Amino acid sequence: MRGSYELGEERQKRLREIIIQLEGSGLEYTADDIVLEYHNKITRLSFLKTMCENINHLELVGKKRTSETYSSTLRSFLKFLGKNDISLDMIDSQLMLRYEAYLKEREVSLNTISFYMRVLRAVYNRAVDENIMEQKSPFKHVYTGID
């Protein structure tokens, strides 16, 4: 996981972006408005929330087996993260490489690693398509093929 210093930098960056956005609106705003927007953005970018929404949607449309595979991926990734939720915009190449190494250390097969990565990539790309975040191609350097 990232150090607290790096997490602090991410928070500061997010706060600066919110202030710039509010300044650009031309409207008056308060510190409470900044805090509210910060929490709203965190909620929109929650990895756990996004995965759970995808799993629930798959169940609703009758794709039970696919929802189970997404749940399996979620459990594995949360175990890697130490059961902590992260923001979708924190998913980058370095994190995915560390997750891949974590799985290899546990002697997970290449097919399973690829499977988990493809599920995570699908959820990530869906968030990009929904304009929740910008594309950073975090899966470019990890194995997503079929062995």
Query: How does residue 132 score in pLDDT terms, banded at 50, 70 and 90?
Result: confident
Alpha-carbon distance of 14 to 11, in angstroms, equals 5
Alpha-carbon distance of 72 to 113, in angstroms, equals 12
Nearest CA among 68, 38, 33 for reference residue 54: 68
The predicted model scores a pTM of 0.75
CA distances from 73 to 80, 90, 103, 113 (A): 11, 18, 12, 10
What confidence tens digit (pLDDT) does each residue in 75-127 have?
999 999 998 888 898 899 999 999 999 999 999 999 999 999 999 999 999 99
**Element of type H or E holding 129:** helix 110-129
Q: What is the pLDDT of residue 7?
A: 53
pLDDT above 50 for 37: yes
pLDDT above 60 for 4: no
The answer to whether 34 and 41 are in contact (CB under 8 A) is no
**Positive or negative: CA dihedral 23, 26, 31, 32:** negative
CA distances from 31 to 12, 15, 18, 37, 38 (A): 14, 11, 11, 10, 11
Using a pLDDT cut of 90, give the percent of the chain over it.
62
CA dihedral (34, 37, 41, 43) in degrees, to 10, reads: 120
9-18, 121-130, 136-145: the lowest-pLDDT one: 9-18
Phi, psi of 113, deg, nearest 5: -60, -50
